[in-house]
Amino acid sequence: MVFEHREHPEFSWSQSRRSTFRSCPRQYYWQYYGSHNGWYDDADETARLAYRLKKLSSFYEFLGGAIHELAADAIKGARGDEPPLTADELFQVGRDKLNRAYAQSKRLKDWKRRPNRITMFHDFYYGTGPSRDMIDRIRDRLRTCTENLLESESYREALQAPFVEVKEVDRGPEFFTFEGYTVWAQPDLLYRTGDGEYHVVDWKTGQTDDTHPLQLRTYGLYVQSRADLEPHAIVGRLEYLLKGSGTTVPLGSSELDAEQREIRDSIAAMQKYVADPSTNAARPKDDFPLKDDTSECRYCKFYELCQDEIEGTVAGPF
């Protein structure tokens, strides 16, 4: 999509949007409305701050992104002319990525100028950096995930498959249109086995979650929408790299129909927060309530923007 200046953001739907909307309406506001145009130097200071905070990363998020990149590189390399990377080699590349990001996170002034180019970890922005315990935990996770990646069913099958696409290597960010709305969806890995079945894969570097199968259903709709792919059965696969186990998710017509209903309902709920559907102008910020339970808010990237309000509301037994 070509960038064009817009006074209000374009409405589009994604799984992460749904998850943010469910988690906290105010976070949804900052992420999708309050930070809009905050990349301009002359934007209003709140929008600029919201845009910067939106770019903060947690160590777990960063690790997840790094492992997705490693998976993509490992599959593309092994299917090309290169010898397959070993778990040790992947681990070293992952450590380099983490170490570079860690060093960048100490450059607060540079990050404020270019928050989309430089990594800033939440722990540095809101504190003095990660504890030794956190660093050890992230490094151990990286090692476990890289080892399990190479052992996973999806990785092994993708090396042999007649057709493979890897996210953001073979194709940029992908979307399909659903009832006039843009829906962002692209599997981490898509491959077709010898019998013609499509496999859509999501690498997971954290714990299991009930919403993960829904994400694969959206990917199933995306595959189904692609005119360049021959129609064939689709199955989903969640690869839990921390546990070293995977789950197969059926993506037949009943699951995809159910997901269409879910997306329709989710869009309708989000649209209630829109003041003008023709421009997607949002209702005022205060119409997006804070999270009911604010006890974990200090871990949220937008805490700085909510702090005064949160501290003004003291929950208690009286």
Q: Which residues bind ligand SF4 (CB under 6 A)?
A: 24, 26-27, 30, 290-291, 294, 297, 300, 302-303, 306
Specify the residue, 35 or 205, whose C-beta has the smaller distance to ligand SF4. Answer: 35
Q: In the structure encoding, which two tokens stand for residue 268, read together? A: 């309708």
Q: Which is nearer to ligand SF4, 163 or 299 (CB)?
A: 299
Nearer to ligand SF4, 24 or 238 (CB): 24
In the bound complex, what is the minimum distance in angstroms from residue 136's beta carbon to ligand SF4? 27
Contacts of 101-108 spanning 24+ positions with Cβ under 8 A = 101/57, 101/62, 105/129
CA angle 278, 280, 286 (to 5 degrees): 135
Task: Provide, rounded to whole angstroms, the least separation between the CB of residue 163 and ligand SF4.
Answer: 41
Question: In the complex with ligand SF4, which residue's Cβ is closer, 53 or 166?
Answer: 53
Beta carbons within 8 Å of 17's beta carbon, 6+ residues apart:
28, 31, 32, 270
Is 53 or 267 the residue whose CB approaches ligand SF4 more closely? 53
Shortest Å distance, C-beta 314 to ligand SF4: 15
Report in angstroms how near the CB of residue 304 gets to ligand SF4 at its nearest: 9
Specify burial of residue 207 (Cβ count, 10 A radius: 0-12, 13-18, 19+). exposed
CB of 292 to ligand SF4, least distance (A): 9
DSSP line for 138-199: HHHHHHHHHHHHHHSHHHHHHHH-SEEEEBTTTB-S-EEEETTEEEE---SEEEE-TTS-EE
Structure tokens of 128? 């003095």
Q: What is the CA radius of gyration of the chain?
A: 21
